[in-house]
Structure formats: C-alpha cells, structure tokens
Amino acid sequence: MGAITLGLAACSRVDDGGNGGGGDGGGQADTGLLDRLREQGFVNVGLANEIPFGFVDGDNDPAGQSPAVARAVFEELGVPEIRANPVAWDGLIPGLQASQFDVIAAGMFITPERCEQVAFTEPTATSPEAFMVAAGNPHGIRHFTDFADNPDLRLAVLNASVEQDYAEHFGAENLELIPDQTTGYELLESGRVDAVSMLSVSHHYLLQDRGGDFDVTEPFFPEIDGQEQKGWGGLCLRPAETALLEEMNRVIAEFTENGRLLELGEEWGFTEADLPDGTTTAELCEG
C-alpha cells in the first residue's frame, strides 16, 4: 500500500441487528472464543450490504464473497453457521470493538490505520476500482482526478472507505458520503450524483442484480507517489483474538493452496486474478 491515510468513523454507533455479540471488546484475550462459538453453533458476522463482497440476501442470510469465505472457514473450525449483522460501512469497526459481532466479513481492505484497530486475517481477495456512471458516460469520467478538474461533478463514496480517501487525495471536493451501496445506486438513478465509486466487481454484480441504464468505467488501480494502490481484503477480528486468528489463517492458507478460495469467490464474480498474490497482511499493515 502507498502513503494514503484512511479516516475511520470510530465514534459511530450501530445496531446489533438483534443477534447479540460476543467476545470481550478490545481488552483481554478471550482464549475460549472458538470453543464458545463451537458450543453455541454460530458466529455473528458484521457486513455492510455491499454486493458482492458482503450483503444480506432476500432471506436475511449473509451472502457474498467474504461471508462465503467466513462460512467455509468456520465450518472447518467446527462452527456450522454464520449470522448476519448488517450495519453502515462506517459502523463495522465500532461494532466489532463493541462486541456486537465477532467477525467482520465485508471485504474490508487491509490498511495501516485499520490494523491499529482490528486484526486482519491474511488476504482473501482484491479488485480494481471503477465508477458507475450514466449510460454512455456523458462526462467522460475515468479517474478521481476528473472530479478535481470539474468540481461540478458529484461523486458518491462510502463513508470511511478507501474510495473516500482516494477521492480526497486526488482533490475531489463535491462528495456525497453514503452508508451503503444501494444508496449510491439510488442517488445515481435520481441524478443527484454523477458517479458512484466502488470496486469494479461490486458495480458489475449490482447491475447484474438490479439492472439500470448505467455503465461501469474501465477498472484501474490508482497510483500514489508512483505506487499502485492494489488493496487486499480480509476478515477482521478484535486484536485480542490471537488464537482464533491463527486458526483462521491456517484454514485460509489451505483454501488458497487447494483452490477452494477461488471456488468460493467464483459465484460472486471473482476470478483467479482477484486471488492473493503472496502479499501478506503484515506488509499491508506496515504500509
């Protein structure tokens, strides 16, 4: 990762969706967390309704690439069920810290500032950036710099996301901070914004799911200080849960080696190009 700094809305308050939580917040390690999850038979996961990384389907069940990985990992660890706790994007880390759920399964990118607040597993997927725009891309939007060059253009980004920080880094000022992907889609549909910034795979899957007279621009990885910003997402735990993190990383390594990680992502539009390339969480946390 480059030198970009991520702002997190750590004071946000979120609802626990009625499923309860677990663990001990950010304090002393709960060495029995995995045993407790096995005993209760499920783990609560936080997600932010971003298709196809992590969202709630029509039956209110967790769906998407990140929950699929979480479900498979915990099945291997003897926990047969995951339960969804949907919150706004900027409520994910506060919700984990407040023990409203035990795992974030939202495809959250691993960044140095986030590493100070949560513990990430090893990477499970990546995707380049893109913009969803009106059909034909009437404003010729290709990059975050286009919004700095034309301040009248309005861009929707998830609050506390890497896209928000990319936009601000490149000088975009006319930003609409949104809590979830659906809000961005509706703002674009109503003409209140000119583009929505998210990962390319998110846009394509949303259009496949909902349709609409929109286009998705060519995917790209922004460059900052000459370095390509190729972000990697992983599952998140509270920092004290070192024993559980070690077990989850063991299973993720097996899935990466035997091809299961690819199988879990293919349903959601992820390809071999989106799989881990050997970059480690320790390297991403260092920046």
The string of pLDDT tens digits covering residues 55-97 is 999 999 999 999 999 999 999 999 999 999 999 999 999 999 9
Q: What is the pTM of this model?
A: 0.81
* pLDDT-based confidence at residue 139 (cuts at 50, 70, 90): very high
Residue 21: its pLDDT value, please? 44
DSSP code string of the chain: --S------TT-----TTS---SBTBSS--TTHHHHHHHHTEEEEEE--BTTTBEE-TTS-EESHHHHHHHHHHHHTT--EEEEEE--GGGHHHHHHTTS-SEE-S--B--HHHHTTSEE-S--EE--EEEEEETT-TT---STHHHHH-TT--EEEETTSHHHHHHHHTT---EEEESSHHHHHHHHHHTS-SEEEEEHHHHHHHHHHH--SEEEPPPB--EETTEE---EE--EE-TT-HHHHHHHHHHHHHHHHHTHHHHHHHTTT--GGGS--S--HHHHHH-
Mean pLDDT, residues 32-51? 95
